[in-house]
Amino acid sequence: MAFGRASSSEPMVAPHPPAQRRPLPEGFLDRLAARFGDALQTGEAVRAAHGASETHFATMLPDAVIFAGSTQDVVDTVNLCRAAGVPIVPFGAGTSIEGNASPVHGGISLDLTRMDRVLMVNAEDFDCVIEPGVRREELNQHLRDTGLFFPIDPGANATIGGMASTRASGTNAVRYGTMKDAVLGLEVVTPDGRVIRTARRARKSAAGYDLTRLYVGAEGTLGIITAITLRLHPIPETISSAVCAFDTLKGAVDTVVQAIQCGVPLGRVEILDALQIRAVNRWSKLDYAELPTLFFEFHGTANGVAEQIELVRAVAEGNGGGEFLWSNLPEERSKLWRARHEAYYAAVNLRPGAIGWATDVCVPLSRLAECITQTRADLDTSAIPSTILGHVGDGNFHVVFSIDPAVPAEMAEVEALNARLVERALAMDGTCTGEHGIGLGKQHWLEAELGDAVEVMRTLKRALDPDNLFNPGKIFTL
């Protein structure tokens, strides 16, 4: 889940120590200007736009922004920065959730949104090659005549480079997987300024270490992605959406788990709790019953989809599900999913002018009902509005808090609620983040989750980026 900006309020100071900023070496900006001209920008507004967080993290200004237009621009930036010991933080749509692109150590914010070309579409191979600044909606627009689509959908219209870097997933990961499954290969600029290609265009390979998946999810700390080969999927013959409200959160979750156990290949399945439905109704002017609700999407042949719907309807009925409102009209479907995508804005704006904090955990499916119901009970002990929504087929859910910036104690309260949520997920053998990444916000929990494995990660980081210049301070401290 990645979001657009929820409100124009000033973000509050994040609960993280101020980073060590080194002043830029003498003459460094002049050297950059000589190489990049107008593509180097140092104005306050541009720097602020590249240092702000989508959620509750304090703005941290980069010293300058470079707008890369080519792999060579990235290589030259890397070489100039390495020579000067200046950090580089890759930047896409800026829709990450955990402060993943905040320049905590200053340096250069390397904006890749001008690298937005679709380089190649190979329809017969179900793949395409794109630059990292291509956004997912534009990619699907570009593909519309090929009969193929790129399924990963984190909500926001993120750049594909950013999605690869945070190992994003979203509403239809239950059917199509996450960015680790969608990315077939990468072109990457390494901290020593080399351009490597991690894989050929074959659909699978057993040739050496899986560098593709080492860079996917590395949040720009090991290399800068400059091209991406993506796996595409045929647009299903039939797509139908359905909405079903339940008496209880548990009934909704059990329905999904049982449907998956029956082998139903759900295209998407999202849970929204009662308060989230109220928020969506207000924000998107809808009139769903304010109950725990599932949003489904079914993909397949006409007969196949009809079969899936029948089966899921029967399972839902056995779990306290109400009427099954379904549609295969594209305009109704897009209204439904637009409402889902705006759920974050809807939730944050339960209070006008509020600051949003979005967190995500993922647990084994068998523990999901328990995790969600315990979390809802814990959230209900607080007066701060919060909603639960998520990708229930993956065991992945989000909590969105609507924080009053005028009441500083609320931030501490949300911190405590978030800590208890993550501890609950870890105790159920889950993860502290299903799809947002570690960034700044989940570093403590990464250690709790994976222990000594984090030492192995540090070893990799030190080996590949010995000067610690690529998005330093993210995922872990060295």
CB of 34 to its own copies, least distance (A): 28
Decide: is 451 part of the binding site for its own copies (CB under 8 A): yes
Nearest to its own copies of 111, 360 (CB atom): 360
Contact positions with its own copies (CB under 8 A) in 125-184:
125-127, 147, 166-169, 173, 177-178, 180-181
Cβ neighbors of 235 (< 8 A, separation 6 or more) are 147, 148, 149
Residue in 55, 159, 171, 396 binding its own copies, rule: CB under 8 A? 396
CB of 142 to its own copies, least distance (A): 19
Q: How far is CA 91 from the centre of its chain?
A: 14
Contact positions with its own copies (CB under 8 A) in 343-382:
362-366
Question: Could you tell me which of 410, 411, 469 has the C-alpha nearest to residue 441?
Answer: 411
Tokens of 412: 């501490």
Cβ neighbors of 5 (< 8 A, separation 6 or more) are 52, 54
* CB neighbours of residue 48 within 10 Å: 13
Crossing angle, helix 302-317 and helix 249-261, to 10 degrees?
140
DSSP 35-98: HHGGGEE--HHHHHHHH--SSSPPP---SEEEE--SHHHHHHHHHHHHHHT--EEEESSS--SS
Decide: is 426 part of the binding site for its own copies (CB under 8 A): yes
Angle 47-135-240 from CA coordinates, rounded to 5°: 140
* Residue 392 per-residue DSSP state: G
Nearest to its own copies of 222, 242 (CB atom): 222
Stretch that binds its own copies, among 38-46, 313-321, 399-407, 461-469 (CB under 8 A): 461-469
Residue in 142, 322, 454, 468 binding its own copies, rule: CB under 8 A? 454
Buried b (16+ CB within 10 A) or exposed e, 66-85: bbbbebebbbbbbebbbebe
Nearest to its own copies of 23, 209 (CB atom): 209
Decide: is 434 part of the binding site for its own copies (CB under 8 A): yes
Decide: is 307 part of the binding site for its own copies (CB under 8 A): yes
CB of 201 to its own copies, least distance (A): 4
Counting residues that bind its own copies (by CB under 8 A) gives: 92
Residue in 156, 257, 291, 411 binding its own copies, rule: CB under 8 A? 257
DSSP 219-267: TTSS-EEEEEEEE-EEPPSEEEEEEEEESSHHHHHHHHHHHHHTT---S
Nearest to its own copies of 39, 123 (CB atom): 123
Are 241 and 303 in contact by the 8 Å Cβ rule? The answer is no
How many Å apart are CA 219 and CA 456, to the nearest integer?
16
Residue in 383, 406, 409, 463 binding its own copies, rule: CB under 8 A? 463
Stretch that binds its own copies, among 52-60, 324-332, 402-410, 446-454 (CB under 8 A): 446-454
CB of 260 to its own copies, least distance (A): 7
Residue in 21, 197, 250, 351 binding its own copies, rule: CB under 8 A? 197
Decide: is 453 part of the binding site for its own copies (CB under 8 A): yes
CB of 292 to its own copies, least distance (A): 20
Stretch that binds its own copies, among 42-50, 258-266, 288-296, 323-331 (CB under 8 A): 258-266
CB of 62 to its own copies, least distance (A): 24
Tokens of 457: 């990660």
Q: Is 431 helix (H, G, I), strand (E, B) or coil?
A: strand
Stretch that binds its own copies, among 276-284, 298-306, 316-324, 351-359 (CB under 8 A): 298-306
